[in-house]
Amino acid sequence: MSMLRRLPALLASLKLTLALLLVAAVVLLWGRVVEQDLTRLLVLPFGGLALNLLAAIHKHERLRRQRGLLVFHVGLAALALVAALGRLMSLQGHVEIAEGTLFDASAVVANVAPFHAWTLDRAEFVQGPFIIRYDPGMQRRETDSTVLLPDGQGGWHEKVVGDDRPLVIGAYRLYTTPNKGFAPVLTWTGADGQSVTGSVHLPSYPMNYENQGNEWPLPDGSRNLVVWLEMPTQVFDENGPWSFRPPTDAKLALVDGDHRVVLAPGEEAEIGGGRVRYDRLAGWMGYTIFYDPTLPWLAALAAVAVLGLAWHVLTKLRGLTEGPAWEGGSHD
């Protein structure tokens, strides 16, 4: 019974506030250490903070009497509660898209919260050309990635996005990343005469400039070929400025067991029981995908909390500058 009587005081204690903030900080830091998205675990400390702040408002009459302080604490409690809800509805993921390719939601690798309403499959855009600029010393600068969006009239309009200029589709936000590379575009014609065109994403460039190869499962499912990009010269410059671009003189080696052919863009050869044409060398861009519909509410509640704190501080300062009222008789 004594524990039940002490419960309101425990819920309203400053020690609990600090403990919950510490738990949230540990979750964020540990997520960075293990390189995993652990933000869903923030539901517990954020929900606890909301309960803690509401209990403090109920327990301390001074918080209810001073309006600025009351607005500040209510704003913080609502902020913590909405942040907890956001973690339950969020999505964080990534995807690679080759130039000239329509976005495919099934290719997205994502950490999806339990109450997330998946609508990413409604997103429609085509990856266009992109340019990434580098300063000497391999210092990456801005990324300009062109995407094509439906214009509502049967056509497409261009939009340029980047690391800090997301592609916004509904509540989903797609940001470019340093992860990008080359994607040979190949056309496979099987024994039945049917042709299929697709691309093979090679490892990220220039990070893996010495390992520009990958396996390519043939469209008929019969086997995997190994593809290797052969570039006469690398397109990056460690000591000077340069821009990421697919080279025009790169050839592609196709390996099927002991059988190996090398193709220039536009050439084709018989391999793997069919014919393969090396159409061109494109690039692929990596995007991170972020979804949290509570972001506008978080911004508004943060503004309310700041205004409440400012109101409280200004009220205190006004009381200090005005000083106590003078009560005394007049002097003749």
List of residues 6+ apart from 243 with CB closer than 8 A: 131, 132, 133, 134
DSSP secondary structure code for residue 278 in this structure: E
Bridge partners, residue 132, by sequence: 143, 244
List of residues 6+ apart from 48 with CB closer than 8 A: 16, 20
pLDDT score recorded for residue 196: 93
Cα 192 to Cα 197: distance, rounded to the nearest angstrom: 15
DSSP secondary structure code for residue 273 in this structure: T
10-residue stretch averages of pLDDT, the chain, 332 residues long? 60 80 82 71 83 83 82 88 88 95 94 90 95 90 95 93 94 94 94 90 93 91 90 84 89 91 93 89 96 91 91 81 53 40
Spell out the domain ranges in the chain: 2-90+293-319, 92-290
Q: Tell me if residue 37 falls in helix, strand or coil.
A: coil
List of residues 6+ apart from 329 with CB closer than 8 A: none
Give the torsion sign (CA, 243, 163, 204, 97): negative
pLDDT score recorded for residue 324: 56
Question: Quick one: 68 exposed, middle or buried, by C-beta within 10 A (0-12, 13-18, 19+)?
Answer: middle
Report the predicted TM-score, pTM, of the whole model to 2 decimal places: 0.79
Q: Tell me if residue 241 falls in helix, strand or coil.
A: coil
* Exposure of 110 in the CB half-sphere (CA atoms within 13 A): 24
**Cβ atoms 138, 206 nearer than 8 A:** yes
- Long-range contacts of the stretch 243-246 (C-beta < 8 A, 24+): 243/131, 243/132, 243/133, 243/134, 244/130, 244/131, 244/132, 244/134, 244/180, 244/205, 244/283, 245/131, 245/283, 246/182, 246/281, 246/282, 246/283
Q: Is 168 left (phi over 0), alpha (psi -120 to 50) or beta?
A: beta
**Cβ atoms 269, 186 nearer than 8 A:** no
Cα 276 to Cα 315: distance, rounded to the nearest angstrom: 77
**Cβ atoms 49, 21 nearer than 8 A:** yes
Neighbours of 93 (CB within 10 A): 19
**How far from 71 is each of 54, 81, 106, 261, CA to CA, in Å?**
12, 15, 45, 72
Question: Quick one: 309 exposed, middle or buried, by C-beta within 10 A (0-12, 13-18, 19+)?
Answer: middle
DSSP secondary structure code for residue 191 in this structure: T
